[in-house]
Structure 1
């Protein structure tokens, strides 16, 4: 889980739309109704693709150097950035039931204090993985 920036090839279309392709990533492309929409869609496509790579344990390729990418016609390059941790938080947020074991004395102490076990565990795990809440 990390922050990434990759060059994307934007292709203007006659209709005013833009096609977007990431030459470094297999099957990573999208489009947008205008430049703003294309940038939003490109970030989403990039984050989804890299999240999938991370989840499957696939090697994440290094981004190309802009000068090494061949362009045609009116194509141009724009770098697109994404954060796969933020993408995970936004799109993969369903609750998962976990069973755990703690010492009885700790259970009694925490219960007497009225602590919410799920919340305490979530807070501790968020701190441990460096994923503070926003």
Structure 2
């Protein structure tokens, strides 16, 4: 069962050119911001995408470290980043994906003349073909 909420500590490294962010429990999960607000916003997005990727690959989600166990230097601070995964999963699962298709020119010409929305028509046709009822 997947958790819906995650809170992970992030280390904010302050430099003259901005704030870099790393998650000590999540190797490869990094972010950056020009200021604190942007750093927090980008850290949340990085954490959401990283956790979604782990879930999607069925990889284990590590337990977050306790902040008292994390050592930081003078130009660093720990920020707890809190994410809610339900909207992230919904967005990623409903994200539009571009597909290339081939149809005869004559059919394309007639469809264009009749203002056919190819994307909408293809979605309806695939749902009908698969027996998917999207009406609730």
> TM-score by structure 2 length?
0.69
Work out the CA distance in 1 between the residues paired with 2:82 and 2:48: 8
Residue 100, structure 1, aligned to residue 131, structure 2: yes
**Which of 13, 16, 33 does residue 14 from structure 1 map onto?**
16
Work out the CA distance in 2 between the residues paired with 1:89 and 1:44: 15
Post-superposition shift, 1:76?
A: 0.4
Work out the CA distance in 1 between the residues paired with 2:39 and 2:71: 20
Indicate the residue corresponding to 1:128 in structure 2: none
Q: Please identify the structure whose Cα radius of gyration is greater.
A: 2
Which structure 2 residues correspond to residues 52-67 of structure 1 after superposition, within 5 A?
A: 52-67=53-68
Indicate the residue corresponding to 1:129 in structure 2: none
Structure 1: tracts of 5 or more residues without a match: 102-116, 121-134
User: Which portions of structure 1, spanning 4 or more consecutive aligned residues, are displaced by more than 4 angstroms?
Assistant: 95-98
Post-superposition shift, 1:89?
A: 2.2
Post-superposition shift, 1:74?
A: 1.4
Which structure 2 residues correspond to residues 17-36 of structure 1 after superposition, within 5 A?
A: 17-36=18-37
Indicate the residue corresponding to 2:82 in structure 1: 81
Q: CA RMSD in A?
A: 1.8
> TM-score by structure 1 length?
0.70
Which structure 2 residues correspond to residues 118-133 of structure 1 after superposition, within 5 A?
A: 118-120=134-136
Work out the CA distance in 1 between the residues paired with 2:11 and 2:76: 6
Structure 2: tracts of 5 or more residues without a match: 97-122
Work out the CA distance in 2 between the residues paired with 1:94 and 1:70: 39
Work out the CA distance in 1 between the residues paired with 2:64 and 2:6: 9
